[in-house]
Amino acid sequence: MQKEHNLSKNQKIIFDLIDKSGEPMKAYSILFNVQKKGIKAPLQVYRALDKLVEIGKIHKIESRNAFIACQNSSCQISKATAFSICESCENVSEISNSKLSKYLSNFSDESGMKYSKYNLEFFGLCKKCKSK
Amino acid sequence: MQKEHNLSKNQKIIFDLIDKSGEPMKAYSILFNVQKKGIKAPLQVYRALDKLVEIGKIHKIESRNAFIACQNSSCQISKATAFSICESCENVSEISNSKLSKYLSNFSDESGMKYSKYNLEFFGLCKKCKSK
DNA sequence: TAACGTTATGTAATAATATAACATTTATAA
DNA sequence: TTATAAATGTTATATTATTACATAACGTTA
């Protein structure tokens, strides 16, 4: 069970926006959208984003510099993220596949390194774009 | 066998620098280092980087906005990359593990999406940093 | 080799992404 | 209540990346 976090005012505004959008949002697009709610500066956005990422409510899509709400209701998967990204329409969705996450969470090699976190991004064409 | 690409002047200068450094380099640090060779503008660097990424001579470490020379001499692995990143010393190395790459290259789920490419970044503490 | 298309280069300006530094306020909990 | 941590507000600035336009070099093939 995920720890319930009481989001602060700015965190809540920004999380709600990202969550409602259902797709990855960029920091300055978020900023633009929350200006009417009194959030005026980039740093206010980035601080909220940092926190939301930290507690796993959102994830950063690194290859896109964008943020998406966590789509795994029951997970504390912020340390083990996987996404599929359509290179044509830029649709992104979070992959929740227990085999995959087990495989990767248990992955180890000869480097002597202990992996505590991973992020995986798959690219390709989604069903829609493939059939065009 | 990888296709032999004839690098252009700027591409060669920039590839050699990254390759010699042996570690991830950021675009503006590259720029600084090649200014004495006549490469004066960010765009010249980004263009060479884009091409080098495209042909698989270097990879972008997305979470770090940095570029590292491909460490797999015999691979055309630019469409299937995996890295281990130490969160303390920021050391990065490319993982070449055939089981892992097979597993991920063959991964598919119910989304109907055909994955043609992936990038995986593992995070943790390297051997050295762990023992500190 | 001349003509063509493609790839690479040069240059200036600017857009997009992200953080530093500092002051103040609010929430938490001992 | 007091002190400690977390969050906010604000300005300025750093870092990363692209647009737009002009020119040059390269590779093919007629």
* Residues A117, B107: C-beta atoms closer than 8 Å: no
Structure tokens at A89: 């329409």
Greatest mean pLDDT range, A9-18, A110-119, B74-83:
A9-18
CA A84 – CA B20 distance, rounded (Å): 34
Residue B88 in 3-state DSSP?
Answer: coil
Query: CB within 8 A of A90, min separation 6: which ones?
Result: A24, A64
Residue B2 scores a pLDDT above 50: no
Our CA-based measurement puts residue B120 at a distance from the nearest CA of chain A, in whole angstroms, of: 4
pLDDT of residue B132: 75
Q: What is the pLDDT of residues B89-131, one digit of tens each?
A: 999 999 999 999 999 999 999 888 989 999 999 999 999 998 8
Is any atom of strand C within 7 angstroms of residue B51's beta carbon? yes
Task: Mark which residues 6-45 of A lie under 8 Å from B by CB.
Answer: none
Residue A22 — left, alpha, or beta (φ > 0 → left; ψ -120 to 50 → alpha)? Answer: left
The average pLDDT across A87-108 equals 95
Residues of A in Cβ contact (< 8 Å) with B92: none
Closest among A28, A89, A46 to B113, alpha carbons compared = A89
* Residues B120, A118: C-beta atoms closer than 8 Å: yes
The average pLDDT across A3-17 equals 89
CA of B36 to C1' of D9 (A): 43
pLDDT of residue B58: 96
Our CA-based measurement puts residue B87 at a distance from the nearest CA of chain A, in whole angstroms, of: 10
* Residues A123, B123: C-beta atoms closer than 8 Å: no
The average pLDDT across A104-122 equals 94
Q: What is the pLDDT of residues B18-42, one digit of tens each?
A: 999 999 999 999 999 999 999 999 9
Q: What is the pLDDT of residues B49-79, one digit of tens each?
A: 999 999 999 999 999 999 999 998 645 567 9
Is any atom of strand C within 7 angstroms of residue B39's beta carbon? yes
Residue A90 scores a pLDDT above 70: yes
Q: What is the pLDDT of residues A30-77, one digit of tens each?
A: 999 999 999 999 999 999 999 999 999 999 999 999 999 999 864 556
- What does the buried/exposed string (b/e) look like for B26-50 if buried means 16 or more CB atoms within 10 Å of the residue's CB? ebeebbebbeeeebeeeebbeebbe
